[in-house]
Amino acid sequence: MADADEGFGLAHTPLEPDSKDLPCDSKPESTLGAPSKSPSSPQAAFTQQGMEGIKVFLHERELWLKFHEVGTEMIITKAGRRMFPSYKVKVTGLNPKTKYILLMDIVPADDHRYKFADNKWSVTGKAEPAMPGRLYVHPDSPATGAHWMRQLVSFQKLKLTNNHLDPFGHIILNSMHKYQPRLHIVKADENNGFGSKNTAFCTHVFPETAFIAVTSYQNHKITQLKIENNPFAKGFRGSDDMELHRMSRMQSEMEWPAFTVSFSSLLVRPEPSEKTMVDKKERALINCTELKPRLG
């Protein structure tokens, strides 16, 4: 994991597709919950010379669209929570022998804070200051173009957190803020890295993957969609809407709390002596004798 500002200027890459770099049939939707008209072709926000011809296709796009039309929500926790739907893509057009690094970041989609009321999302104020951007580097990086094009590229291990002091490299987000995931394909340098300012890369954005970060699901329709489509939530199927909404809140709160173990708790405590045990029994008998008259 790395900070977005440390690499090659990814934090300053524009969100809007640039028709000069790669033609796109539509621009990202400005609001969640609006029907998406984006085409099935990949969306490119930025392409550098030498990276032309690379195409990225979003896996399970129809599922993403179902969520997008309602208003996608992603749970964030202190421990970190994986995204659902999972971000998976099919990549074509890479040089089979050239090594590439694939990575993601998640950037603010706007400068607003949101609230969910009257069964809809609305702007409630100005966004909180964004945390320094982090990059999630795919664990297979660097790898040849042949490797990346051979199968789906999955970012399902990426986790979202609201812990501003997170030490595990999870993506740090603010609750009730809207975000846009971005995929970056970077041509690895001679050191198999991407620290050079001259590193060639391209950025791909799928507007239908935008979401609002929440600590518990706000819209019961999202709860229903998650349970219907997430194999890890199959135990919740068949419940009514209100029960599903209640269980989604419980599920989001059922995170193992962070804890520390003190050194003293690891010490072996001596077994109580026989005299100590006898004294305890005598005290118990005395207490019972004193209580009998009061209860009578």
- pLDDT tens sequence across 221-275: 999 999 999 887 655 545 455 545 555 555 444 443 333 333 333 333 344 555 5
Q: Which domain holds residue 183?
A: 44-248
Residue 224 lies in a domain: yes
What per-residue confidence (pLDDT) applies to 162? 96
Q: Residue 7: inside a domain, yes or no?
A: no
268 within domain boundaries: no
CATH number of the domain enclosing 162? 2.60.40.820
For residue 259, the model assigns a pLDDT of: 33
Total structural domains in the chain? Answer: 1
DSSP letter string, 172-221: E--TTEEEEEEEEEEE--TTS---STT--EEEEE-GGG-EEEESS---HH
Is 220 inside any structural domain? yes
| Positions of the chain with pLDDT lower than 70, given as ranges | 1-45, 195, 233-296
Report pLDDT for 1.
Answer: 57
Judge whether 20 lies within some domain: no
70: helix, strand or coil: helix
Q: Tokens at residue 87, please?
A: 């971000």
Position 288 in a domain: no
Residue 273 lies in a domain: no
Residue 113 forms part of a structural domain = yes
